[in-house]
Amino acid sequence: MRLKYLVTSCGLALLATACASNVAQIESLSRYDQLVDAERGLVPVREYADGGALAGVTSIYLARATVAPGVVEASGLDEERLDRVAGVMSRTMCRRLARGGFDVRTAPDGASHAMQLTITGFDATNPVAAGASSVIGAFVPGPVSPRLPVGIGALAAEGEVFDETGEQVAAMQWDARNHLASGGGTLTLLRGDIGSTSDGEDLAQSFADAFGDLLVTARDDAGGERGETPRGTCPQYFDGDGFDTED
């Protein structure tokens, strides 16, 4: 009983700091002066959205996510693994925008706006340590069972939307470590094959959903019209094995 109490206390304490990633980040946005502090789920973010400008989006060119210079080397992983995380982020963003009524394009021709996503920091998952933290976290009672901060991966990412003149109309700066409180973690806990990018892939999806939510809400609040993404668009952002091909 005492062990259970100690683990519970630890879990509650972790929830208070679950979203701090402490991952080194590189700046990629064209400007930062328009960003304001906000919260997406339990993750503190900095964001900006011009609802009026987003209401004028007729189609949006989604460039495949990139990895900022130096991030691959700092992560200790190879470029191919980080590219996989970028693919997950890109496809998730495409799907979020498609569900939200944006016409997503894979090429810039004819698009009224453009989006760029960048991985600006990355801490790899330590599979052995992270597996142990998952087991311990499973003993914490309650609706949210945090993983202990041992071997857990982190991701920092930035996203930006430009109009046809290249002016920033929306942006987000986001970073988190993959506790369940960050919006990620569920897939990693359920997955038996934890790898070096498992947390990063979960977090890439969480970031894409958060930024997509910002855009959809701002557009809708401003009375913007909805469009439709052609079927088959989103799978083009990712080729990985084990993923479906349905958008």
As a whole number of angstroms, the distance between CA 14 and CA 11 comes to 5
Q: What is the pLDDT of residue 9?
A: 35
Secondary-structure breakdown of the chain: helix, strand, coil percentages, each rounded to the nearest 5? 40, 20, 40
Write down the pTM of the prediction. Answer: 0.81
- The C-alpha torsion from 9 through 15 and 20 to 21, rounded to 10°, is 90
Distance CA 44, CA 174 (A): 8
Residue 71: what are its φ and ψ, rounded to 5°?
A: -70, -40
The three-point CA angle 60-97-153 to 5° equals 115
Pair of tokens at residue 161: 């939307």
pLDDT for the residue 94: 97
- Taking the domains of the chain in order of start, what are their residue ranges? 2-237
Q: Per residue of the chain (247 residues), give pLDDT as tens.
A: 333 333 333 344 444 444 556 788 899 999 999 999 999 988 999 999 999 999 999 999 999 999 999 999 999 999 999 999 999 999 999 999 999 999 999 999 999 999 999 999 999 988 765 554 444 444 344 434 455 556 789 999 999 999 999 999 999 999 998 865 444 444 444 444 568 898 999 999 999 999 999 999 999 999 999 999 999 999 999 764 333 444 4
